[in-house]
Amino acid sequence: MDQVFAPWRIEWVEREGGNDDVDGCVFCAFADGDPSEDRDRRVVARSERAFVLLNNYPYNPGHVMVIPHAHTGDYRELDEETLLDHARLKQRTFDALDDGLGPDAYNAGLNLGGGAAGGSIDDHLHTHVVPRWEGDTNFMPVISDTQVIVEAVDDSYDRLREAFAAQDGATVDGETRAVVFSE
């Protein structure tokens, strides 16, 4: 078996307490949630119609999901404003990851079609963005539920939050809230 260079395996990260307080769709709950809980929930940036959430079980450091507020699992149902806002937030996410973590490349994409695509939250679509480094593991399907653990998610959160905060149009309010973009 080949030795795998896995620099992100620094610390086991597990969300404390889970999301037991959430009824129904967790992404909707996060979208509408109290902004002062953003850090605890690892929501790192918000636009008017979407938000960026760090994956609690990342494949690599900085693995995030860019999630529209609209509760749908069908990409074709997103209206134009949401499509544009979501796309712009993805652009900002690549910039923030470049600045905060400096990966060599990215894998990014949607899992559509529910269980067959391997997604865990089928009803609320989300774009995964996974930073890649030369020499990290072979890319595995982004949405299998087995691959775990990475550098401390909190560290990634801080790096990304700082990078988002430095972007044009960013509003930063305290330490616990996500960086907000309104345009």
Q: How big is the chain, counted in residues?
A: 183
Amino acid at 131: P
Judged on CB neighbours under 10 Å (0-12, 13-18, 19+), 133 is middle
28 scored as a contact of Zn ion (CB under 5 A): yes
30 scored as a contact of Zn ion (CB under 5 A): no
Q: How far is the CB of 99 from Zn ion (least distance, A)?
A: 30
Q: How far is the CB of 76 from Zn ion (least distance, A)?
A: 17
Give 92 or 124: the residue with its C-beta nearer to Zn ion. 124
Q: How far is the CB of 78 from Zn ion (least distance, A)?
A: 13
- In DSSP notation, 89-117 reads HHHHHHHHHHHHT--SEEEEEE--SGGGG
Q: Are 1 and 139 in contact (CB under 8 A)?
A: no
Question: What H or E segment, with its residue span, contains residue 181?
Answer: strand 179-181
d(CA 125, CA 70): 9
72 scored as a contact of Zn ion (CB under 5 A): no
d(CA 173, CA 16): 25
Give 71 or 90: the residue with its C-beta nearer to Zn ion. 71
Q: How far is the CB of 71 from Zn ion (least distance, A)?
A: 3
Give 8 or 27: the residue with its C-beta nearer to Zn ion. 27
181 sits in the region (left: phi over 0; alpha: psi -120 to 50; else beta) called beta
Task: With CB under 5 A as the rule, give the number of residues binding Zn ion.
Answer: 5
27 scored as a contact of Zn ion (CB under 5 A): yes
Out of 4, 6, 25, 148, which residue is the one contacting Zn ion (CB under 5 A)? 25
Out of 35, 37, 71, 172, which residue is the one contacting Zn ion (CB under 5 A)? 71
Give 68 or 103: the residue with its C-beta nearer to Zn ion. 68
124 scored as a contact of Zn ion (CB under 5 A): yes
Which spans of this chain sit near Zn ion (rule: CB under 5 A)?
A: 25, 27-28, 71, 124
